[in-house]
Structure 1
């Protein structure tokens, strides 16, 4: 119980610290909103997007890109933020000092992951509000769609947070953290249907993207927010929500095991 209480106290501390860093808030909290605005402004003149030639189903450009931006927000809040943040704490000695306190790694993890859930939920809510009010995106009116969004968000956020903890061990220094982490995530977003329509990517690229969680996270979000006819644009012509859940759960376990094996209060080479 003491471990949990310390972890819950860390959530508040971590969240307050997050909002005190304006650059972090902008590039991870507001970035999906900015990107949604750019895509909507750039491609709206071409007309609505349809799942196929002659299809009666269609959505606006903003509505089509909204699920991808939600997935990108989860990825940025979890993997990128935590990987860079923890690498920075290793570099400036924060983790070394925390290692000399009664704080356990579990309490530390609870604080970090809790912050990701808190900020990720706020980020998603703000993105949905802006999409509805500013870009006139019609949101789902069925509870099943929101249920799909909810479990996809929870699984995706948990997996992203744990993968962020694990990935923080990769940079050799805090100064190189951003240079190491950001390109990896940027490439994965481009090949996973976040910024480019997944159906137009070559088959080998689709297969490669299917091995990583962002593709399944984006697919789950599309299943929640796009009309059912748009499943024809997916790799197998279906939403495959069962596989979305399986792959996100697999990456959650991978992140949990990897973070447990790689996390150290002090770098081994320090």
Structure 2
């Protein structure tokens, strides 16, 4: 008598497929990680996020009224300039230093070897920059309004100008920050290579003093970079109309502001694509 063969199961179901998270979900998770890392790092939080507001409070308290222009104070001019500098600090300076550190400590190399879309990494960086930039601008506006009598925009046109200057300036400085992160040869040189040029451009771009008080040759130098155009756009939003006489051209030149910032967005993107590396040069 032959042994009975086992009856094969009739209900055979295929194993459930494992779905990997999508690019959008990974980007949001990466953005949350970037934000946690930024606010947990005391040096970044103090130097990049808190320092502009502290400088505005200190320098604004020492500035007086602008002679010949009643109702316009140095603190109001400084507020508009510091908003532009805050946008550049939370994008250009922050990204440049962070990407340099991540490249030289091997973080970028490890991320490159993971099954994560490359766009998720850059998307996370953009989310972190966007959140910090908006928070920085709100903080600086609050200091200017509460301490120095800065008036909020009262027309739709002014708010639209504020929005497109913020977006174009933030995009341009974000691309430039990613690109300049490939320049330092070591982590020790990151602050010097990135922060020092940023400080020089601030003093030439009308951040701390009216742009008309900057020597003419430095005005030409500053006009090459996006910070000058961001501060000019913000002055058109937060200063009274009579303050336009402080501009060397005698007008806010908003079409030129848009053109310059738009060109820097294109230039910054091209530099990103040509210079970004996942590993250090000495790897």
Please give the TM-score of this superposition, normalised by the length of structure 1: 0.92
**Are positions 1:12 and 2:32 aligned together?**
yes
Post-superposition offset of 1:228: 1.5
User: Which whole-Å CA distance do the structure 2 matches of 1:233 and 1:102 have between them?
Assistant: 54
**How far off its partner does 1:35 sit?**
1.1
The equivalent of 2:125 in structure 1 is 112
**Which residue, out of 231, 243, 256, partners 1:218?**
231
CA–CA distance in 2 between the matches of 1:242 and 1:136? 28
Q: Secondary structure at the match of 1:169?
A: coil
C-alpha separation between the residues in 1 aligned to 2:38 and 2:109?
Answer: 20
- 205, 212, 219: which one aligns with 1:206: 219
- 1:40 equivalent to 2:53? Answer no
Q: Which runs of 4+ in 1 moved over 6 A?
A: none
Q: Which residue of structure 2 lines up, in the alignment, with residue 133 of structure 1?
A: 146
Deviations 1:53-78 (A, max 9, x none): 3x4x4322321211101001011001
Partner of 1:249: 262
| Alignment partner, residue 45 of structure 2 | 25
Is the deviation greater in 15-24 or in 98-107?
98-107
Instruction: Note the residue ranges of structure 1 that are not aligned, 5 or more in a row.
Output: none
Partners of 1:260 and 1:269 in 2: how far apart?
20
Q: Kindly indicate whether the alpha-carbon contact (under 8 Å) linking 1:209 and 1:215 is maintained by their aligned counterparts in 2.
A: yes
Work out whether residues 31 and 127 of structure 2, in 8 Å CA contact, stay in contact via their aligned partners in 1.
Answer: yes
Assess, with a 3 A threshold, how the Cα gap between structure 1 residues 106 and 182 changes in structure 2: closer, same or farther. Answer: same
**Greater Cα shift, 66-75 or 101-110:** 101-110
Q: How does 1:109-258 map to 2 (within 5 A)?
A: 109-258=122-271
Deviation for aligned residue 1:191: 0.6
Residue by residue over 1:110-132, the C-alpha shift from the partner in whole angstroms, topping out at 9 and shown as x without a partner, is: 11111111111011112212222
Of structures 1 and 2, the larger Rg is shown by: 2
Task: Say whether the 8 Å CA contact 2:77–2:209 is kept in structure 1.
Answer: no
For 2:221 and 2:133, how far apart are their aligned partners in 1? Answer: 27
Contact 1:39 1:61 in 2 (8 A): no
Aligned mates of 1:187, 1:240 — CA distance in 2: 23
The alpha carbon displacement at 1:159 in A equals: 0.9
How many residue pairs were aligned? 263
For residues 9-46 of structure 1, give each alpha carbon's deviation from its aligned partner in whole angstroms, at most 9, with x where no partner exists: 211111111111122111111111111111122223xx
Q: Which one is further off, 196-205 or 114-123? A: 196-205
Report what 2:7 is aligned to: none
The gaps in structure 2 that reach 5 residues or longer are 1-20
Matching residue of 1:261: 274
Q: Matches of 2:51 and 2:269 in 1, distance apart?
A: 27
- In 2: Cα distance, 1:38 partner to 1:106 partner: 40
